[in-house]
Every structure is written in C-alpha cells, then in structure tokens.
Amino acid sequence: MTKAPGFDTLQIHAGARPDPATGARQTPIYQTTAYVFRDADHAAALFNLQEVGFIYSRLTNPTVAVLQERLATLEGGVGAVCCSSGHAAQIMALFPLMGPGCNIVSSTRLYGGTVTQFSQTIRRFGWSARFVDTEDLAAVEAAIDADTRAVFCESIANPGGYVTDIPALAAIADRHGIPLIVDNTSATPWLCRPIEMGATLVVHSLTKYLTGNGTVTGGAIVDSGKFDWSASDKFPSLSQPEPAYHGLKFHETFGNLAFTFHGIAVGLRDLGMTLNPQAAHYTLMGIETLSLRMERHVENARKVSEWLENHPAVEAVTYAGLPSSPWHDRVKALYPRGAGALFTVALKGGYDACVKLVDGLELFSHVANLGDTRSLIIHSASTTHRQLSPEQQVAAGAAPNVVRLSIGTEDPQDLIADLSQALEKAST
C-alpha cells in the first residue's frame, strides 16, 4: 500500500496473516501448552532470549501474539503484553517499575477495584499509592517525590465518564523522569490514543469495549517504546543486569522493546497471569468491529444523556459529551470522536430511588461490567465501589445517590423508553 492503512483496516488486519499450514483466513485458536523445538540449539537460543519464538503458552502463544500486535498497532505502540484481566495488566505494568518503598501518584477518579488494588493490595509488595485529583496539576506535581515511579490515570474515568487531560499529566511525568500510565479501557484507541499525547504505557481491560460482547476477561499493556529506562537509576529491572538471564540488561539489549520483553520474559514467566488463546480469539473478533460499535455507543450515549439531563427526577448527569459539562471543551480538543458511552446519573430521590431505578429497568442489564453491546446499569456505591470509604466514593464519582450507565448499541428510543418507565417507578 502507498499510504498507511486507516484504523478500520488495521482493526481487522493488523497482526493477522493466513495460517501458513492450512491457509485459514481467521486467526486459529492455538490450543496448546508447548511447542516443539527444532533442535537443542534452537531451544537454548529461545530460553536465552537470543531468538524470538514460542516456548510455552504461559509466556507466548500464536493466537495471543496476533492480538498483542494488533493492540500495539491500534495504540501506536511498539509492543504489547496480554494477560488474564485488566487488574492483572495493572500489576504487570507496575511490576518492572516498582520496589519496596516505591510509590505511584494516582488519580482519585478510578474504578473502585483499582482504588482498592492501589490503596490496599499493592501495600503487600511494599508499594504505595498517593491519590490526587488530577484536575489539580500542582497537587499532582507536589505528590511526586524521589521514590515515585509512575503517574497513573484513566483516559475516560469509570464510573463518571470524566475525561483526563493526558498531555498535562504527561508533561509533569516527563519533568520528573517517570512514566505516565493511562488506562484506556473506557475510551479505546478509537476515541483516544494516549501514546500520541505523551503516555509511556497504556493498559486495558480487554473484557470491556475491545471484546465488546461480555464473553471473556483479559488485559493488556501497550508499550510506547519512547521512555529512556536507563536515564536514571530508578528502574533497575530494565536498566541493570537481570540475574535470571545471566546479567542481561533489558534496555541495553532490546532498546525500545525493553518493557515488552521484560513483561513476557519475567512478568508472565513469574506472575503467570496468562491470557488463554480462546479468550484472545474472542477479543480479536470483537476488535474487528470496534470503530463501528464505538461510533454507535457514542451516538446513543449523547441521545440518552441529553434526555436524562432534562428529566425532573434527575439531579445531574456527568456525561462529558454534554455542552453543560465542564469537560466539554476538553472533549472537543482531545477526544474529538466523542466522550465514550460511560457516565453517571445522580437522582434527586437519593439511595432509595437508585435502588428502585435499577430494579425497575427491563432492557438495561444490572451487571458489574461495562463496554458491552447491551446497555448496563449498576449502583456503584453498593457494589463496585462498596469497599471504599464515603469520601472515596464521592471522590471517585460513586456517591450513594448515583447510578452508572454503560450505554450499548440498541435503538436509543428503546433505551429512553425503558429509563422513562423505571424513573417513574423510582419517583413513587
């Protein structure tokens, strides 16, 4: 081709080639644990990281490899590592960067499970997180110290649909010589390409929009390849000799692919958070229609949010695509294709009205997920954000009088009709 392929082409073709053994056009599911080596020298070269290939499916698998290449291409990165879930992706993203006593500076506007993982679970590794409102850039900068190893945010935050000023955070991270990690799950690379805005690493829960049909769990880390891991002594796992590989230095040896190789050769080897090939296959099929689905998701979210904003039972709608949103100008500047399809609705009737709304809906599904073709609803304060303190719930956009909507690809008038009848029940 004389020009670079467009997104719609890449979401179908990137990383995929006809199967050399059979000519199969769809990527096969390579349901195997291990791979036959050509000879002893070939096996030794693979285990010494002197040759790229397949060893054991905890590390590498041909189906998963296609997905990794496709995700890296769509995000504009040099490589990707797939794993078993979005939460696994977050731990694997931090694993090469952190050590006992190190910290990350994280947005307060995060999925509740991520807040719990960062505030509680990572402490068992001797790591810590400092939560800051990323609208306050001075506070972000002030929270960074000599032990900070990354800044973390979500591009479009779950549950409120808040849109992050990624370039501003990237500039702060750059000044301090640390990576910016962006969870791009809610936006997907069709709405937002964090690497082009200065992010070092992008993480995904493949479970959501990328697969798009609520069938599998999976995660991924995409490496921009742009960070100099040897510029300081902050990242010894990537810049210093690795004892498990006879003193090999990942950054010196693999250059801009250092993080990707470390994620496979050390992260997947030792943490074992493997994505199975069938899940990778489902995700590949989902990505083939990503742009078509996201366009409809965004269109439906705009229509439903506009209707909700004018409903007498509704106190507020957080959709950043609304002209009334304080983030509307940011959406136009940084997310020109739209603000996604995730937002919250605050009801005047409080907690009880939220419960009645959830129970009264017929077309919306009450589930702990988002990014499905089906429209979904959940009362975050009593479910996904239940473990948080009341202050943390409010900071995350999950107050007791708030429900989260994930707008699907159904007929928007049917969604509005369902919400209308349920809100009437919730108001009585």
Model pLDDT for residues 200-259, shown as the tens digit of each residue = 999 999 999 999 999 999 999 999 999 999 999 999 999 999 999 999 999 999 999 999
Give SS3 for 150. strand
2 assigned to some structural domain: no
Distance CA 155, CA 163 (A): 6
Containing structural domain, residue 158:
7-286
Q: Do 278 and 312 reside in the same domain of the chain?
A: no
Q: DSSP secondary-structure letter at 373?
A: S
Mean pLDDT confidence for 360-384: 92
> pLDDT > 70: what percent of the chain?
100
One-letter amino acid of 122: I
Phi, psi of 378 (to 5 degrees): -155, 150
Distance CA 311, CA 416 (A): 11
Reading the block at residue 94, the tokens are 């931090």
Q: What is the CA radius of gyration of the chain?
A: 22
Q: Grade residue 398 by pLDDT with cuts at 50, 70 and 90.
A: confident
Q: Do 109 and 249 reside in the same domain of the chain?
A: yes
Mean pLDDT rounded to a whole number for the chain:
95
> CA 50 → CA 8, 72, 247, 396, distances in Å?
35, 22, 13, 46
The domain that holds 382 is classified in CATH as 3.90.1150.10
One-letter amino acid of 411: D
Q: Do 173 and 311 reside in the same domain of the chain?
A: no
Q: Do 211 and 92 reside in the same domain of the chain?
A: yes
> pLDDT > 90: what percent of the chain?
90
Reading the block at residue 36, the tokens are 């036959």
Q: Do 314 and 278 reside in the same domain of the chain?
A: no
1 assigned to some structural domain: no
> Is residue 299 scored above 70 in pLDDT?
yes
The residues facing 346 across adjacent strands are 316, 402
- Tally of domains in the chain: 2
pTM of the prediction? 0.95
Mean pLDDT confidence for 162-175: 97
> Is residue 160 scored above 90 in pLDDT?
no
> Is residue 35 scored above 90 in pLDDT?
yes
Q: Grade residue 192 by pLDDT with cuts at 50, 70 and 90.
A: very high
DSSP string, 170-221: HHHHHHTT--EEEE-TTTHHHH--GGGGT-SEEEEETTTTTT-SS----EEE
101-115 pLDDT, tens digit each: 999 999 999 988 899
Q: Are 208 and 185 in contact (CB under 8 A)?
A: yes
47-88 pLDDT, tens digit each: 999 999 999 999 999 999 999 999 999 999 999 999 999 999
Reading the block at residue 359, the tokens are 């129970």
The residues facing 342 across adjacent strands are 406
In the sheet that 376-378 helps form, which strands lie side by side, from edge to edge? 314-317, 342-347, 402-406, 376-378, 365-366
Q: Do 341 and 277 reside in the same domain of the chain?
A: no
Q: Do 37 and 148 reside in the same domain of the chain?
A: yes
Mean pLDDT confidence for 176-190: 98
> Is residue 396 scored above 80 in pLDDT?
no
Choose one of 286, 312, 339: the last residue of a domain: 286
